[in-house]
A = this chain, B = another copy of it.
Amino acid sequence: MRNLGAEHANLDQKVHQILKHMIMDRQLLPGEKIPQEKIAQELGVSRTPLIAALKYLEQEKLVESKPRRGFYVRLFSKEEMVSIFELREVLEGLTARRTAQKITDAEIETMARFFSQFDLDREIMDFKAYSREDRRFHTFITEIGAKEFLKSILETTNIISFSYQLINSEGLVRSPDETIHEHLAVIEAISRRDPKAAEELMRRHFKKTIAALTRDIKADEAA
């Protein structure tokens, strides 16, 4: 194999992205061991950048290293999912606050179009489309309100909750008909440039999701 060594600046970031997608797309299943030599060959790189990428993922908690045994795709329990949503509650609350402080008029216009494809009077059937819009919305807010540190944390917590959809097929904990109103309320508060309300509403949105998750867990335990 040719020595790519000095030609590329960042082979491990590339590998990192690929692995992340493999986990998100469930090509690598939770609990599974990651075969280093095999994947390295598939990607046409040596184990060096692959291991670097795996260590990134380890810090992002998407992967776990058992010393002398290798890397395994991480498995999250429902309890851990609750912790992750609690984190998102405070982090995205902060993001919403900051966004309300610094959003531009043009951005407010763009934001107004989010969720407009969905009719409030009719039951939302297309979960996939709604889930996608949900992500787009949270990403949009993040882009405006979060600086790099917060952004990188949010990115990984988001990926975690979306890639480990324990609840239903599209990673939604609650029904769109319930959450769309909360989303619109957040949008409205940000448009008003009301940081306090934006943070409060975003947190309430997550708190409800956490409550739903907790209920699910209790139901499981009863069963």
A144 on the B face (CB < 8 A): no
A28 on the B face (CB < 8 A): no
Q: Mark A64-78, 1 if CB is under 8 A from B, else 0.
A: 000110000000000
| B residues near A52, Cβ cutoff 8 Å | 51-52, 55
A67 touching B9, Cβ below 8 Å: yes
Q: Give residues 24-79 of A contacting B (CB, 8 Å).
A: 51-52, 55-56, 59-61, 67-68
A150 touching B83, Cβ below 8 Å: yes
B84 touching A149, Cβ below 8 Å: yes
| B residues near A152, Cβ cutoff 8 Å | 59, 61
A217 on the B face (CB < 8 A): no
Q: Which of these binds chain B: A85-93, A107-115, A132-140?
A: A85-93
Residue of B9, B10, B56, B93 near A59 (CB, 8 A) is B56
Residue of B90, B147, B150 near A94 (CB, 8 A) is B90
- The chain B residue with its CB closest to the CB of A148 is B61
Chain A interface, >50% SS class: helix
Instruction: Please give the number of chain A residues whose Cβ is less than 8 angstroms from any Cβ of chain B in the complex.
Output: 30
Q: How far is the CB of A16 from chain B (nearest CB, A)?
A: 10
Interface centre among A59, A68, A83, A90 (most CB of B within 10 A): A90
- The chain B residue with its CB closest to the CB of A59 is B59
Instruction: List 13 additional contacts besides A83-B149, A87-B150, A91-B91; criterion CB under 8 Å.
Output: A9-B68, A52-B55, A55-B56, A59-B59, A59-B152, A61-B148, A80-B149, A86-B98, A87-B91, A87-B94, A90-B90, A90-B91, A90-B93
Pull 17 A–B residue pairs with CB atoms less than 8 Å apart, ordered by A.
A9-B68, A51-B52, A55-B55, A56-B59, A59-B152, A61-B149, A61-B152, A80-B149, A83-B147, A83-B149, A86-B94, A86-B98, A87-B94, A87-B149, A87-B153, A90-B94, A91-B91
Binding site for B on A (CB under 8 A): 9-10, 12, 51-52, 55-56, 59-61, 67-68, 80, 83-84, 86-87, 89-91, 93-94, 98, 147-150, 152-153, 157
